[in-house]
Chain A
Amino acid sequence: MATKTASKAKPKVKATAKSAVKSAIKIKSTSTNGSTNGHAVTSTRLDVRKTYKIYIDGKFPRTESGRIYPLKDAAGNIIANICRGSRKDLRESIVSNRKAQSGWSSKSAYNKGQILYRIAETLESRKAQFVDILCKQGDSVSSAKKEVDTAIDVLVYYAGWCDKYIQVFSSVNPVESSHFNFSYPEPTGVVTVMAPLKQGLLGIVNLVSPMIIGGNVCTVFASEKYPMTAVDFAEVLNASDVPGGVVNIITGLQKEFIGHASSHMDVNAILFSDLDQAQRKVIQENASLNVKRVLDFSKEDMLSPYRILAAQEIKTTWHPVGN
């Protein structure tokens, strides 16, 4: 995967390109001063920094807009320049989601379950990295450790539901006429996910796991506070056989996305857990444009097959029984 330095951003948008250059300069100055910028500086070797980009269709492009926002630590030092995703990124992401949806939902339950379990395995092997990156974004070591452990366990929990929730929520219906009639859940489709502000890793895992295990595909709008975790998690997905387009992750300012994520006409559902009353109202109003399902997980149990059911549509099939 080719990663180039941040300063190569094309000056498509004049104002933002300028600010990108500005921030790049700031970073340079902080690192030469040797102040804490989240990267260990040794006297013998200059550390190699990571460029944080968004994740769409299994690839890591920069935001189409060329905009960034600086992520700062508690002391106000810039730790990274984060892509400030745009409506165009969202549109491309939804196109990629839609393309991926039928392939993903038609994979066997066993296969999807193994892929989710694989995400847990990959995350387990990168535990130290995630604790480190959560701490860089302001968490304590103990809370970061707990969060990463919980996220792995949530993935394992939902991996196990993949070939079971359909059995739990299906029925054979004893109709009066001479027909065989059965009902079972099918995925709702493309889901936009507003990741919660807190818990940069667990927030995403909590919302995304029950969606994808049910055959849905997602575009996640990362927490503004934890964008690095979100992008690192995208790398985990990328390394775990999750097909491109099943989960796309866009960083940026959530307030810029809420309107578009809820009004896009090829999105079937929108999921969130920590939005305020005014934001919820905007989402619910926009959702009415194409009868989107509005899924609020703020009150639901974290571990529950009913979270899977929330993004499922019950299909009923009839066939005559005769000679």
Chain B
Amino acid sequence: MKKPIKIKPLNFSGDFKYAPAPEGTEHIQLKEKYSLFINGKFVAPSSKKYFDTINPSTEKKIASIADANAEDVNLAVKAARNAYDKTWSKMPPAERGKYLYRIARIIQEKARELAVIESMDGGKPIRESRDIDVPLAAAHFFYYAGWADKLEYAFPGKKASPIGVAGQIIPWNFPLLMAAWKIAPALACGNTVVLKPAETTPLTALKLAEIFQEAELPPGVVNIITGAGATGAALVNHPGIDKIAFTGSTDVGKLIQKAIAGTDKKYTLELGGKAANIIFEDAAIDQAVEGIINGIFFNQGHVCCAGSRLFVQEGVAKEVIRKLKDRISTLLVGDPMDKNTDIGAINSKEQLSKIKFLVNAGIKEGGECWQPECSIPSKGYWFRPTLFMNVAQSHRIVQEEIFGPVLAIQTFRTVEEVIEKANNTPYGLSGGVWTDKGAKIFSVTGKIKAGVVWANTYNKFDPTSPFGGFKESGMGREGGLHGLMPYVKLS
């Protein structure tokens, strides 16, 4: 028999420290006050009201943002309808595509500025906004640009035509990327758009409006109106909207589905998730640990497809948890503008209190909570990466979407057991499977009821890859060939 090897705990309190590596902010251009982007121009809101958008890592105000009321929404929808009737739906599709290519190119040119603003406004590490959010946003426009004049090949046996005016409501976790996911396929298919960014992260959408101006996109083709829930509700309920595309919480998605009952509005919903990330004994453990980290701590866990429920097969549970704790202890939590930062600021005060509330509920329900002893800045909204052990399927932290850096760990013995547990949720957005056995990958990924399944990887995105949920995680797909479907009428 092999002698068990005694494992020494790793020491992270040594002298080795990272020097600060802040990304410069001097090159970015921001106005003090942003109005609404309607019919190709920035116009003052008829409400005359503005709200502040703040930097969640410093709690300092960045700019004043217009608060659109029902009248503003109406103006935006009218502008979109006018542009649809007179310009966009009549334009040769190849020309539509060329505008989208232009937009993609300008996003690439301004990538650095957009990344910095994204991290300032939303709190995400610059490493992520620079390497993921902004390049993917450009890639989405580039991908769908090419579809504009090729739609006749996308739907066998059918002719695709645009729907009309799309009302699009996007969340705060990937502000620019979600705008690209929504706008690019809508425009490629010949629709026009009224987009409402989230109230805590409106800046990159407004910078995108400036890019549309620079690209000379015809006025009214995309209108961007800022505001909170009331603005979104006015958009959803506006009779001039033909289609609603929403990304956000399942609760709000249900409200939208109910609100448009009895109308002919089409809709796609990309809602919440509580993904199972499953580690089998035969997985490459070190790679799996990296995958778990990326699965739950990417973007502070503000990811609808986050791998927030970890299932580890019993034989490797101890090893995985030990390695996970070691790895988490090396994560740097802090200034989003620092290129070394792994976990940035929680997006808002409101979200921070929601995370704290659910974590407290987890502790009260008897879960074993673990956090590293990392330092966090005194100002701003922060939450340490958190593990929960000894939790049950019925616990709130296992059932509810936390949308923060909190991982609930459970163990399992058999494939059947873990599939049962993984699917025991109203959600069905994503999942992860880690094993070195090919046959097991196909059997388990086939049985997980979720729209995106990552095998031996996690949280990968691409414009060619459809994304969207089963069950209460929503309906319709964004990305890829399947992402065209929500923006066309077939005849």
What is the CA–CA distance of A263 and B256 in the complex, to the nearest angstrom?
16
Chain B interface, number of residues (Cβ within 8 angstroms)? 46
Pick from A168, A281, A290: contact of B156, CB below 8 A: A168
B482 near A171 (CB under 8 angstroms)? yes
Find the B residue at minimum CB distance from A268: B471
What is the CA–CA distance of A321 and B490 in the complex, to the nearest angstrom?
36
Given contacts A174-B464, A181-B465, contact A284 B262 (CB under 8 A): yes
What is the CA–CA distance of A315 and B444 in the complex, to the nearest angstrom?
13
A288 near B258 (CB under 8 angstroms)? yes
Task: List, in ascending order, chain B residues with CB within 8 A of A288's CB.
Answer: 254-255, 257-258, 261
B257 near A284 (CB under 8 angstroms)? yes
A319 near B462 (CB under 8 angstroms)? no
What is the CA–CA distance of A161 and B432 in the complex, to the nearest angstrom?
31
Find the A residue at minimum CB distance from B464: A173
Task: List, in ascending order, chain A residues with CB within 8 A of B428's CB.
Answer: 313
Give the contacts of A297-320 with B (CB-CB under 8 A): 304-306, 313-320
Is A287 an interface position by the 8 A CB rule? yes
What is the CA–CA distance of A317 and B442 in the complex, to the nearest angstrom?
9
Nearest CB in chain B: distance from A280 CB, A:
7
A176 near B462 (CB under 8 angstroms)? yes
Is B475 an interface position by the 8 A CB rule? yes
Nearest CB in chain B: distance from A277 CB, A:
7
What is the CA–CA distance of A168 and B426 in the complex, to the nearest angstrom?
29
Between A and B, 11 residue pairs with Cβ closer than 8 Å are A173-B464, A174-B464, A181-B465, A183-B480, A186-B470, A290-B472, A314-B482, A317-B454, A318-B453, A319-B441, A319-B457
Is B450 an interface position by the 8 A CB rule? yes
Find the B residue at minimum CB distance from A171: B481
Is A293 an interface position by the 8 A CB rule? yes
A314 near B468 (CB under 8 angstroms)? yes
B258 near A177 (CB under 8 angstroms)? no
Task: List, in ascending order, chain B residues with CB within 8 A of A18's CB.
Answer: none
What is the CA–CA distance of A168 and B269 in the complex, to the nearest angstrom?
24
What is the CA–CA distance of A183 and B451 in the complex, to the nearest angstrom?
9
A289 near B254 (CB under 8 angstroms)? yes
* Known A181-B462, A293-B475, A316-B451; 20 more pairs at CB < 8 Å: A171-B466, A173-B480, A183-B465, A277-B262, A283-B261, A284-B258, A288-B254, A291-B257, A291-B474, A306-B490, A313-B470, A314-B451, A315-B450, A315-B451, A316-B452, A316-B453, A317-B454, A318-B453, A318-B455, A320-B456
8 nearest A-B pairs in the assembled complex, by CB-CB distance: A284-B261, A281-B262, A288-B257, A175-B462, A288-B258, A285-B261, A173-B464, A288-B254
Find the B residue at minimum CB distance from A175: B462
Interface residues, chain A, with chain B CB atoms under 8 Å away: 168, 171, 173-177, 179, 181, 183, 186, 188, 268, 277, 280-285, 287-291, 293, 304-306, 313-320
Given contacts A175-B464, A179-B460, A290-B426, contact A314 B262 (CB under 8 A): no
Find the A residue at minimum CB distance from B477: A314
Task: List, in ascending order, chain B residues with CB within 8 A of A177's CB.
Answer: 460, 462
Given contacts A288-B254, A291-B271, contact A173 B457 (CB under 8 A): no
Is B260 an interface position by the 8 A CB rule? yes
Task: List, in ascending order, chain B residues with CB within 8 A of A173's CB.
Answer: 462, 464-466, 480-481
What is the CA–CA distance of A186 and B482 in the complex, to the nearest angstrom?
14
Nearest CB in chain B: distance from A24 CB, A:
42
Pick from A168, A289, A318: contact of B465, CB below 8 A: A318
Is B158 an interface position by the 8 A CB rule? yes
Max chain A CB contacts within 10 Å: which of B156, B452, B473?
B452
Task: List, in ascending order, chain A residues with CB within 8 A of B260's CB.
Answer: 284
Find the B residue at minimum CB distance from A185: B482
B465 near A175 (CB under 8 angstroms)? yes
Pick from B253, B454, B477: contact of A291, CB below 8 A: B253
A285 near B258 (CB under 8 angstroms)? yes
Task: List, in ascending order, chain B residues with CB within 8 A of A284's CB.
Answer: 257-258, 260-262
Is B276 an interface position by the 8 A CB rule? no
Task: List, in ascending order, chain B residues with CB within 8 A of A171's CB.
Answer: 466, 480-482
Is B467 an interface position by the 8 A CB rule? yes
What is the CA–CA distance of A270 and B15 in the complex, to the nearest angstrom?
63
A314 near B456 (CB under 8 angstroms)? no
Give the contacts of B145-203 with A (CB-CB under 8 A): 156-158
Pick from A174, A183, A304: contact of B466, CB below 8 A: A183
Task: List, in ascending order, chain A residues with CB within 8 A of B451's CB.
Answer: 313-316
Task: List, in ascending order, chain B residues with CB within 8 A of A314's CB.
Answer: 451, 466, 468, 477, 482
What is the CA–CA distance of A277 and B264 in the complex, to the nearest angstrom?
10
Task: List, in ascending order, chain B residues with CB within 8 A of A317's CB.
Answer: 445, 452-455
Is B250 an interface position by the 8 A CB rule? yes
Is B139 an interface position by the 8 A CB rule? yes
Task: List, in ascending order, chain A residues with CB within 8 A of B456's CB.
Answer: 319-320
Nearest CB in chain B: distance from A77 CB, A:
40
Nearest CB in chain A: distance from B101 CB, A:
17
Task: List, in ascending order, chain B residues with CB within 8 A of A277's CB.
Answer: 262
Give the contacts of B405-447 with A (CB-CB under 8 A): 426, 428, 441, 445
Pick from A183, A283, A291: contact of B254, CB below 8 A: A291
Find the B residue at minimum CB distance from A188: B470
B460 near A291 (CB under 8 angstroms)? no
B457 near A318 (CB under 8 angstroms)? yes
Nearest CB in chain A: distance from B488 CB, A:
12
Nearest CB in chain B: distance from A322 CB, A:
9
Nearest CB in chain A: distance from B23 CB, A:
24
Given contacts A314-B482, A318-B455, contact A175 B460 (CB under 8 A): yes
Nearest CB in chain A: distance from B134 CB, A:
14
What is the CA–CA distance of A319 and B253 in the complex, to the nearest angstrom?
30
Nearest CB in chain B: distance from A283 CB, A:
8
Task: List, in ascending order, chain B residues with CB within 8 A of A175's CB.
Answer: 460, 462, 464-465
Q: Mark B256-281, 1 if CB is under 8 A from A, else 0.
A: 01101110000001010000000000
Nearest CB in chain A: distance from B476 CB, A:
9
What is the CA–CA distance of A318 and B451 in the complex, to the nearest angstrom?
11
What is the CA–CA distance of A291 and B261 in the complex, to the nearest angstrom?
12
Task: List, in ascending order, chain B residues with CB within 8 A of A291's CB.
Answer: 250, 253-254, 257, 269, 271, 471-475
Nearest CB in chain B: distance from A109 CB, A:
14
Given contacts A183-B480, A314-B468, contact A320 B474 (CB under 8 A): no
A319 near B455 (CB under 8 angstroms)? yes
Task: List, in ascending order, chain A residues with CB within 8 A of B139's CB.
Answer: 176
What is the CA–CA distance of A282 and B258 in the complex, to the nearest angstrom?
9
What is the CA–CA distance of A207 and B256 in the complex, to the nearest angstrom?
27
Find the A residue at minimum CB distance from B481: A171
Given contacts A176-B462, A289-B254, A314-B482, contact A280 B457 (CB under 8 A): no
Task: List, in ascending order, chain B residues with CB within 8 A of A293's CB.
Answer: 475
A315 near B453 (CB under 8 angstroms)? yes
Task: List, in ascending order, chain A residues with CB within 8 A of B453's CB.
Answer: 315-318
Q: Mark B235-263, 1 if CB is under 8 A from A, else 0.
A: 00000000000000010011101101110
What is the CA–CA distance of A168 and B156 in the complex, to the nearest angstrom?
8
Nearest CB in chain B: distance from A186 CB, A:
8
Find the A residue at minimum CB distance from B438: A319
What is the CA–CA distance of A315 and B271 in the complex, to the nearest angstrom?
16
